[in-house]
């Protein structure tokens, strides 16, 4: 498939508008997303750089019944208290500035949704929403070729393509949220998505048309400043 050129794309947006406008979308309209549009988005995303141009990524794009079975399996296992079974390493719990940022964005989201600190049922609903892929009409499972497992370049490359994917989707009016919740019960995903054993399940991306009336969709998360993040040497 040829890569769509910017000037050919009727609804394409300015780069800055995509980068500055994109935010995670956690509430969707039920309307389906055309397969051809997802193919266009994937072809844009796959212009992402990768180590030695290895392109270790693969995508399983789910909708309809198979996605519903994953939502159900994820929900059941979560409610049953079955421990997470991700296929890649998780570090230890966040601390310090990382923890502060995690808490801050959670407060923004819960604030927008009107979920109070003591509202256990509301918080549980919110968590289960994530395990249901936020009821999005589409979920893209990012996997990588198992033969490349062990190289840190591989997840790095998958991150690059996933960021490009959510930005490409936004440029076409689609919202996404990259999420780990969708793959925390990876055996469920592997079974219902029919993912081959030569693939490592990396991440989920919920995708669909943003529901403008869903409060959490208005949240604009904070970023540390360039002064905090960057050191300039030799300038
Ligand atoms: C690797 C990764 C995992 C994530 N996992 C989740 C998740 O499980 N649930 C969720 O609601 N958001 C998840 N997010 C979304 C982040 O919370 C979000 O990107 C961050 O707060 C910045 O907000 P923004 O995307 O609106 O700019 C994840 C994002 C990334 C990149």
> Nearest residue CA, atom 23 of ligand 1?
221
pTM of the model: 0.95
- Tell how far the Cα of 102 is from the centroid of ligand 1, in angstroms: 10
> Nearest residue CA, atom 22 of ligand 1?
221
Q: Average pLDDT, whole number, for the chain?
A: 95
Pocket test for ligand 1, best of 167, 180, 184 (most atoms within 8 A of CB): 180
Beta strands 199-208 and 175-179, pairing class: antiparallel
Ligand 1 atom closest to 184 (CA)? 8
Q: Which tens digits make up the pLDDT trace of 61-116?
A: 999 999 999 999 999 999 999 999 999 888 899 999 999 999 999 999 999 999 99
Q: Which tens digits make up the pLDDT trace of 97-108?
A: 999 999 999 999
> Given a cut of 90, is residue 3 above it in pLDDT?
no
pLDDT band at residue 42 under the 50/70/90 scheme:
very high
Pocket test for ligand 1, best of 178, 201, 218 (most atoms within 8 A of CB): 178
């Amino acid at each position: 498939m040829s890569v769509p050129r910017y000037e050919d794309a009727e609804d394409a947006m300015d780069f800055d508008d995509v980068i500055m406008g994109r935010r995670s979308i956690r509430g969707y309209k039920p309307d389906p997303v055309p397969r051809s549009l997802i193919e266009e988005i994937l072809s844009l995303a796959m212009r992402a750089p990768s180590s030695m141009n290895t392109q270790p990524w693969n995508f399983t794009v789910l909708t309809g019944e198979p996605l519903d079975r994953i939502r159900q399996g994820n929900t059941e296992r979560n409610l049953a208290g079955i421990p997470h079974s991700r296929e890649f390493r998780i570090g230890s719990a966040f601390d310090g500035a990382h923890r502060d940022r995690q808490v801050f964005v959670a407060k923004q989201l819960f604030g927008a949704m009107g979920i109070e600190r003591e509202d256990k049922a509301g918080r549980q609903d919110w968590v289960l929403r994530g395990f249901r892929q936020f009821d999005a009409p589409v979920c893209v499972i990012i996997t990588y070729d198992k033969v490349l497992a062990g190289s840190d370049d591989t997840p790095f490359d998958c991150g690059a393509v996933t960021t490009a994917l959510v930005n490409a989707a936004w440029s076409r009016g689609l919202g996404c949220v990259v999420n780990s919740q969708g793959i925390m019960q990876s055996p469920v995903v592997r079974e219902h998505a029919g993912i081959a054993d030569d693939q490592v399940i990396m991440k989920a991306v919920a995708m669909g048309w943003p529901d403008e009336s869903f409060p959490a969709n208005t949240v604009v998360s904070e970023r540390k400043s360039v002064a905090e993040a960057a050191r300039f040497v030799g300038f």
